[in-house]
């Protein structure tokens, strides 16, 4: 059973998961959680790595629903190959959201920014597949005629050169949305000078 890597050009249909980063183990990249006995620390259940809450690293995990040639399937992309699309590393984005996130819908603004930056656009995904699980790109077909439950892990995500979207990142768009929201809040609470 050999593994092949396919570069697959897809259009993003939707976000599969609104959460785009997770607290990550420095040792094995697994998700880490708050310790039950000591909530100031995070621990990895897989390898035992432990660190203080402030030292936690975050990692991107972008889970998308995409389409290609009438096929619809899921793709999840992990890690630093997403930095170029977000314009910041995952820990930086997490801090940004945490610092700006009060009780207001800040994180939904991030979700909107992510949606607007990815949905409807073409990306090339580097997907590892074994030859036995021939996907739509190897002329294979899925048994029940629907690939909507099929999900792949991509090790690469590339923006096709021709689209000319370089420079527009999630974080710059997110900052713009935050600014608009702040202006709106200011406008709606301003009592005005003429009464
Ligand atoms: Zn670990």
What average pLDDT does this structure show over 87-110?
Answer: 80
CA dihedral sign, ordered 84, 17, 113, 164: positive
pLDDT over threshold 60, residue 127: yes
pLDDT at 65: 95
pLDDT in tens, 37-82: 999 999 999 999 999 998 999 999 999 999 998 889 999 999 999 9
Half-sphere exposure of 81 (CA within 13 A, CB side): 16
Q: Check residue 185 and give left, alpha or beta (phi > 0: left; psi -120 to 50: alpha).
A: alpha
CATH topology of domain 3-20+61-185: OB fold (Dihydrolipoamide Acetyltransferase, E2P) (2.40.50)
pLDDT at 51: 95
Q: At what angle do helices 106-118 and 170-189 cross, to 10 degrees?
A: 140
> Who's near 143: CB < 8 A, 6+ residues apart?
none
Half-sphere exposure of 102 (CA within 13 A, CB side): 3
Gap from CA of 28 to ligand 1 centroid (Å): 4
Q: Which residues surround ligand 1, an ion (CB under 5 A)?
A: 25, 27-28, 30, 44, 46-47, 49
pLDDT at 70: 85
Gap from CA of 49 to ligand 1 centroid (Å): 5
Q: Where are the domains of the chain?
A: 3-20+61-185
Gap from CA of 18 to ligand 1 centroid (Å): 24
CA dihedral sign, ordered 95, 97, 102, 107: negative
How many residues can be counted in the chain? Answer: 195
pLDDT at 174: 92
pLDDT at 50: 94
């Amino acid at each position: 059973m050999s593994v092949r890597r396919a570069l697959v050009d897809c259009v993003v249909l939707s976000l599969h998961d609104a959460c785009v980063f997770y607290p990550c183990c420095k040792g094995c990249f697994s998700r880490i959680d708050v310790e039950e006995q000591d909530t100031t620390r995070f621990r990895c259940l897989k390898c035992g790595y432990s660190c203080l809450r402030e030292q936690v690293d975050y990692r991107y995990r972008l889970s998308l629903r995409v389409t290609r040639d009438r096929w619809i399937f899921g793709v999840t992309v992990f890690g630093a190959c997403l930095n170029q699309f977000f314009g910041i590393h995952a820990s930086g984005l997490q801090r940004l959201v945490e610092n700006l996130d009060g009780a207001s819908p800040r994180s939904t603004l991030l979700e909107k920014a992510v949606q607007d930056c990815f949905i409807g656009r073409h990306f090339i995904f580097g997907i590892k597949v074994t030859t036995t699980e021939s996907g739509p790109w190897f002329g294979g077909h899925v048994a029940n005629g629907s690939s909507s439950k099929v999900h792949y892990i991509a090790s690469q995500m590339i923006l096709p050169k021709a689209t000319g979207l370089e420079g527009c990142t999630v974080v710059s768009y997110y900052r713009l949305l935050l600014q608009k929201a702040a202006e709106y809040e200011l406008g709606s609470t301003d009592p005005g000078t003429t009464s």
